[in-house]
Chains A and B, each alone.
Chain A
Amino acid sequence: MSTETIHKPRAAFHGTADSETVLECRDVSRTFLVGKGLFSEKKTLKAVQNVSLKVRRGEVVAVVGESGCGKTTLAKMLLGLLQPSSGNIFIEGNPITDVTIRQIARRVQPVFQDPYSSLNPRKTLESIISLPLKVHDIGDRESRQKRVEEILAMVELPKRLIHSYPSQLSGGQRQRVAIARALVMKPEILVCDEPTSALDVSVQAHILNLLQDLRDELNLTYVFISHNLAVVEHLADTVAVMYLGRLIEYGPKEDIFRNPKHPYTKALLDSFLTPDPTKDVPEIALGRGFPNPLDPPTGCAFHPRCASVMDMCSKVRPEQTEVDGIKLECHLYPQPSKAQAAE
Chain B
Amino acid sequence: MTTKQKVIDVQNLTVEIDVPAGTLHAVSGIDFHVNQGETLCIVGESGCGKSITALALMNLLPKKAKLSADKLDLQGRNLLTISPGEFASLRGDRMSMIFQDPMTSLNPVYRVGDQLEEVYIHHGKGGRKEAAERAEFLLEKVGISAPKSRLIQYPHQLSGGLRQRIMIAMTLMCDPALIIADEPTTALDVTIQAQILNTLRNLQREFNTAMILITHDLGVVARVADNVAVMYAGKFVETGTAMEVFTQPTHPYTQGLIACIPTPGNSGHGRLGSIPGIVPSLIGDMDGCLFRNRCASVRAECEVGITPIKHLSEGRGYRCVMSVEECMKRAQVQILSEAS
B269 contacts A by Cβ under 8 Å? yes
Which of A73-81, A88-96, A284-292 makes up part of the contact surface? A284-292
Query: 1/0 contact trace for A234-266 toward B, CB 8 Å?
Result: 110000000000000000011001000000000
Chain A residue contacts of B242, Cβ below 8 A: 277
**Are B272 and A286 within 8 A (Cβ)?**
no
In contact, B198 and A283 (Cβ under 8 angstroms): yes
Find the A residue at minimum CB distance from B202. A281
Q: Taking the complex as formed, is A137 at the interface, i.e. its CB lies under 8 A from any CB of chain B?
A: no
B46:A200 contact, CB within 8 angstroms: yes
B195 contacts partner chain A, Cβ-Cβ < 8 Å: yes
Tell me if A202 and B191 are in contact (CB < 8 A).
Answer: no
Nearest A residue to B200 via CB reads: A281
Q: Judge whether A202 and B219 touch: CB under 8 Å.
A: no
Query: Which residues does chain A contribute within 8 Å of B195, judged by CB atoms?
Result: 271, 284, 286, 288
A16 in the interface, Cβ–Cβ < 8 Å? no
Binary contact readout B192-230 vs A (1 if CB under 8 angstroms, 0 otherwise): 111101100100000000000000111111111100000
* Across-interface contacts of A208 in B (CB, < 8 A): 262, 272
Nearest neighbor of A213 in chain B, beta-carbon distance: B271
Residue in chain B with minimal CB distance to A206: B274
Interface-side segment among A34-42, A128-136, A224-232: A224-232
The answer for the CA separation of A225 and B273 in the assembled complex, in Å, is 22
Q: Does B189 sit at the interface, judged by CB under 8 A?
A: yes
Q: Are B191 and A276 in contact (CB under 8 A)?
A: no
A276 closest partner in B (C-beta): B222
A319 near B: Cβ within 8 Å? Answer: no
When the two chains form their complex, are residues A209 and B190 in contact, meaning their CB atoms are under 8 A apart?
Answer: no
Assess the B191–A268 pair: CB atoms within 8 A: yes
Chain B residue nearest to A274 (CB atoms) is B264
Total interface residues on A, using CB and 8 Å?
47
Looking across the interface, which residue of chain A has its beta carbon closest to that of B225?
A277
Report whether B246 and A200 are in contact in the complex, using a CB–CB cutoff of 8 Å: no
Within 8 A of B (CB), among A17-72: 66-67
Residues on A with beta carbons closer than 8 Å to the beta carbon of B257: 201-202
Q: How many residue pairs, one in A and one in B, have C-beta atoms under 8 Å apart? A: 136
Chain A residues lying within 8 Å of B225, measured Cβ to Cβ, are 277
Known: A200-B45, A277-B243. A231 touches B271 (CB 8 A): no
CB of B222 within 8 A of CB of A204, answer no
Distance, CA A276 to CA B275, complexed state (A): 21
- List of A residues within 8 angstroms of B247 by Cβ: 277
Within 8 A of A (CB), among B4-18: none
**How many angstroms from the CA of A303 to the CA of B52 in the assembled complex?**
44
Would A273 and B191 count as touching, CB distance under 8 A? no
Checking A171, A205, A286 against B260 with a beta-carbon cut-off of 8 angstroms, the contacting residue is A205
Closest to B160 in A: A67
- Known A200-B46, A208-B262: A273·B193 in contact at CB below 8 Å: yes
Whether the pair A280, B223 counts as a contact (CB closer than 8 A) is yes
* B219 closest partner in A (C-beta): A273
Q: Pick the contact of A233 from B192, B262, B273 — CB < 8 Å?
A: B262
**A218, chain B: closest CB distance, angstroms:** 15
B267 touches A230 (CB 8 A): no
CB pair B190 A275 closer than 8 Å: no
Chain A residues positioned under 8 Å from B260 (CB to CB): 201-202, 204-205
If over half of B's interface residues share one DSSP class (helix, strand or loop), that class is named, otherwise mixed; here it is helix
Q: Are B246 and A66 in contact (CB under 8 A)?
A: no
Could you say which of A66, A201, A268, A279 contacts B218, with CB atoms under 8 Å apart? A201
Cross-interface CB contact of A275 among B192, B221, B265, B267, cutoff 8 Å: B221
Among A202, A227, A278, the residue within 8 A (CB) of B274 is A202
Contacts of B245 in A (CB 8 A): 277
A325 at the interface (CB under 8 A from B): no
Q: In the complex, which residues of chain A have a beta carbon less than 8 angstroms from the beta carbon of B262?
A: 208, 230-231, 233-235
Over the window 298-322 of chain B, the binary record of Cβ atoms lying under 8 Å from chain A Cβ atoms (1 yes, 0 no) is 0000000000000000000000000
Across the interface, name the chain B residue whose C-beta is closest to A215. B269
Q: A200-B216, A205-B272 are in contact. Are A271 and B190 (CB under 8 A)?
A: yes
Q: A202-B260, A208-B262, A286-B195 are in contact. Are A227 and B223 (CB under 8 A)?
A: no
* Contact status of A202 and B220, CB under 8 A, knowing A67-B189, A231-B262: no
Min C-beta distance of B146 to chain A, whole Å:
11
Please, which residue of chain A has its CB at the minimum distance from the CB of B143?
Answer: A288
Are A275's CB and B222's CB within 8 A? yes
Q: Is B278 an interface residue (CB 8 A)?
A: yes
Residues of A within 8 A of B274 (CB): 202, 205-206, 209
Q: What chain B residues lie within 8 Å of A274 (beta carbons)?
A: 219, 222, 264
| Pick from A202, A212, A280, A290: contact of B45, CB under 8 Å | A202
Q: Which of B161, B198, B261, B271 contacts A201 (CB 8 A)?
A: B261
What residue in chain A is nearest B217 (Cβ atoms)? A273
Closest residue of chain B to A271, judged by CB?
B194
Chain B minimum-CB-distance residue to A280: B223
In contact, A284 and B191 (Cβ under 8 angstroms): yes
Chain B residues 239-269 with CB under 8 Å of chain A are 242-243, 245-247, 256-267, 269
Q: How far is the CA of A233 from the CA of B160 in the complex (A)?
A: 26
- Is B23 close to A, CB under 8 A? no
B159 in the interface, Cβ–Cβ < 8 Å? yes
Q: Which of A271-325 contact B (CB under 8 A)?
A: 271-284, 286, 288-290
7 nearest interchain CB pairs?
A273-B219, A234-B262, A271-B194, A205-B260, A200-B45, A205-B272, A277-B242
B contact set with A: CB distance below 8 Å = 45-46, 143, 145, 159-162, 189-195, 197-198, 201, 216-225, 242-243, 245-247, 256-267, 269, 271-275, 278
**Selected A-B contacts with CB under 8 Å, 18 pairs:** A66-B190, A67-B189, A170-B278, A171-B46, A202-B256, A209-B272, A228-B190, A233-B266, A267-B191, A271-B195, A273-B217, A273-B223, A274-B219, A278-B243, A279-B223, A281-B194, A281-B201, A281-B224
**Contacts beyond the supplied A231-B262, A277-B243, A290-B161: 11 A-B pairs with Cβ under 8 Å:** A200-B216, A201-B216, A201-B257, A203-B45, A234-B262, A270-B194, A272-B190, A273-B223, A275-B258, A277-B225, A288-B162
